[in-house]
Amino acid sequence: MTQVKNASVAAVPVHETERKWWHFFTFSTDHKVIGIQYIVTSFIFYLIGGSLATAIRTELATPAPDFVTPEVYNSLLTLHGTVMIFLWIVPAGAGLANYLIPLMIGARDMAFPKLNAVAFWMIPPAGLMLVLSFFLEAPQSGWTSYPPLSLMTGKVGEGIWIFSLLISGTSSILGAINFFVTILKMRVPSMGIHQMPLFCWAMLSTSGLILIGTPVLAGALILLAFDLLAGTAFFNPTGGGDPVVYQHMFWFYSHPAVYIMVLPLFGAISDILPVHARKPIFGYKAIAYSSIAISFLGLIVWAHHMFTSGTPAWLRMFFMITTMVIAVPTGIKVFGWLATIWGGKISLNSAMVFAMGFIAVFVIGGISGVMLAAVPFDIHVHDTYFVVAHLHYVLFGGSVFGIYAAIYHWFPKMTGRMMNEPLGIIHFVLTFIGMNLTFLPMHQLGLLGMNRRIAFYDPRFTSLNQLVTLGSYILAVSTFPFLFNAVWSWLKGKPAADNPWRALTLEWQTSSPPMIENFEVLPVLTTGPYDYGMTHKSTEAGSEPGTPVLSGSPSA
């Protein structure tokens, strides 16, 4: 598929005229195929990461190390963290972005389709390498891989871990370049930057973070690889190296990584809520620019992961303030979302309950995040289960709930079939209960004195841990209704109309699933993305290509 330079060109030459199932297993350059490839692949890794988590919780059901050895336990937690971050949430966000961005902005494909395919096909080998390392000599030093421990245990696995991350990081950078250029350069001419769906704003911010942060991680990993394989001492204190420098470089990427994981879903939620509440998004510009603000602030908060490390007092104070300030743009989003659904006409379908559930649990992670930013308090709970609880409220309650909401919302567009609603609601209820049962008691465990990353623990924490393990089993079970629903609906589900949710953004103004070149005739904006309840005659874009009727921007 060729790059579309001029949006007025109606037809572009294509290799394929009809989508076949086996296209999904090829080096396809169609962004829709690549998007689904990303989402399905990352979901498979989610199942692997989830199995690892279930094994971790089984071990922690009792205080003694009886289910696995402590060495295996450390491999489990290392792989769980790495798989969930680098092979599930980050690529799942990239998958959604690949599928949605060109459709949302009225383009026929991404700016660099081949690069796009290359970026995707780096994920499976990186992931397989990492998972296979489990059967050789797995990495055991956590997903943070702090030297000097990472230079001493599980060295074979550590090497594989480094190279796996370098590959998936490269994939992430290639994807980000594509999103950036596509969003800025390939919108239909009638779409100004303030008529873009908020998902595009979120991806713009995410791409910026990836492009600035990931190379620094790559630098840290390459130096770590030298220490590991060539015996240099960049970070190894026995040769005069400084482990704290690694921590700075690692977190310079890995804190923004949290926003890389959650911003795309902020965007998705901003697009899902107005559709199912039948109201315009509340404060479009505030939500759009808060993504940019989060992205900028996200780059200057990394050392809050190091408040108990080798950091001087002034640095602790500086990063405390910057970290707390991030609560402001995040608060703008949360309150904007609440005001969006307030007074609306809410359809409680699976996409909407996951979107509202997202707000309900994410806010807990946001609040505990501000608490953790306070240095005196963080000194007590750093590296405890309080932090484990916080990060899972952000990354499970935020990202995973967001991904589920997005899948339920865009599944009809992607497959041309509706998902089963009762199964979706069962899935939500199980996930919501399981999530809170798993992660809420962890706050108390951490405050009371349970440190993280331990295979065996003080017996006084047994009952709370058993509650947590029970919750994690519910979470594990909650995946089955979803899996069955997705597979069955894809094959046999009720055929979906082109626009089953009566949404206004452009991806809904074409067929379901979209034709290979996305739009028969490139659409012209006749309405803003969230103009619900406004008196527009037609919501069908592209029907009158000769008359570019622009609606006013939905500004506040």
* Region 105-144 residues binding other proteins, contact defined as CB under 8 A: 140-142
What is the total residue count of the chain?
Answer: 556
The count of chain residues that interact with other proteins, using the rule CB under 8 A, is 103
Check binding of 363 to other proteins (CB under 8 A). yes
User: Is the CB of 88 or the CB of 530 nearer to other proteins?
Assistant: 530
User: Is the CB of 44 or the CB of 379 nearer to other proteins?
Assistant: 379
User: Is the CB of 311 or the CB of 485 nearer to other proteins?
Assistant: 311
Check binding of 152 to other proteins (CB under 8 A). yes
| Among the listed residues 421, 424, 490, 352, the one whose alpha carbon sits nearest the alpha carbon of residue 39 | 490
Residues 231-250 that bind other proteins (CB under 8 A): 237-238, 240, 242-244
SS3 34: helix
Check binding of 148 to other proteins (CB under 8 A). yes
SS3 27: coil
Smallest distance, Å, CB 383 to other proteins? 4
Q: Which stretch binds other proteins (CB under 8 A): 262-270, 367-375, 415-423, 467-475?
A: 367-375
Is residue 78 within 8 A of residue 453, CB to CB? The reply is no
User: In angstroms, rounded to a whole number, what is the distance separating the alpha carbons of residues 475 and 435?
Assistant: 6
Residues 41-80 that bind other proteins (CB under 8 A): 64-65, 69-71, 73-74
Smallest distance, Å, CB 378 to other proteins? 9
Residues 438-467 that bind other proteins (CB under 8 A): 443-444, 447-449, 451-459
Residues 214-233 that bind other proteins (CB under 8 A): none
Q: Which stretch binds other proteins (CB under 8 A): 205-213, 272-280, 415-423, 512-520?
A: 272-280
Q: Which stretch binds other proteins (CB under 8 A): 179-187, 196-204, 346-354, 514-522?
A: 346-354
What DSSP line would sit under 204-225, residue for residue?
HHHHHHHHHHHHHHHHHHHHHH
65 Rama sector, left if φ>0, alpha if ψ -120 to 50, beta otherwise: beta
Is residue 215 within 8 A of residue 173, CB to CB? The reply is yes
Check binding of 252 to other proteins (CB under 8 A). no
Is residue 527 within 8 A of residue 508, CB to CB? The reply is no
Upper half-sphere CA count for residue 432 (Cβ side, 13 Å): 17
User: Is the CB of 156 or the CB of 348 nearer to other proteins?
Assistant: 348
Choose, by CB under 8 A, the member of 118, 370, 425, 467 that binds other proteins: 370
User: In angstroms, rounded to a whole number, what is the distance separating the alpha carbons of residues 363 and 390?
Assistant: 10
DSSP H or E segment with residue 391: helix 385-394
SS3 515: strand
Choose, by CB under 8 A, the member of 107, 162, 198, 332 that binds other proteins: 332
